[in-house]
Amino acid sequence: MKVRFEQKGSFTNFEKFLTKSLHIKSFIKPILDKYGQRGVELLREATPKDTGKTSESWSYEIVQDNDGNYQIVWSNSNVVDEWANVALLLQYGHATRNGGYVKGIDYINPAIQQVFNDMADEAWKEVKANGRKR
């Protein structure tokens, strides 16, 4: 998530905002955990089901890069023939052994779009609430 700031005149208020924003780390991980799990639930519900193995194979992890930025990484562990991730084959489509083609179904993006929106809203509310406490 990127945040854009515009400032005219004195940077005093901007500096105060940045100082208050340093406290984000104390509450960001529980928010990411909450929405990581919510994303797993929505992906399980949205995944096309035959045997149910793919829908039950969703997981997530929270990753922090060298710059301190956090990410939620959703993954699906249902892989066949050591290379074919079934969730991606369902999403993007795939060729069949007899030369045919199975069209993909965009189920991943719609399933987690609301997660992204809700997570951003909650994070912003926390930033504003913590800014008022100081």
Residue 70: strand pairing partners:
64
Distance of CA 27 to the CA centre of its chain: 17
Each residue's pLDDT, cut to its tens digit, for the chain (134 residues) gives: 444 544 455 556 656 666 666 666 666 788 889 999 999 999 999 999 988 999 999 999 999 888 878 889 999 999 998 889 999 999 999 998 899 999 999 999 999 998 988 888 887 887 788 766 55
What DSSP letter does each residue of 87-133 carry, written as one string? Answer: HHHHHHEEE-TTS-EEE----HHHHHHHHHHHHHHHHHHHHHHHHHH
Q: Dig out the tokens for 94 from the structure.
A: 């795939």
pTM over 0.85: no
Angle at 64 between CA 55 and CA 21, to 5 degrees: 115
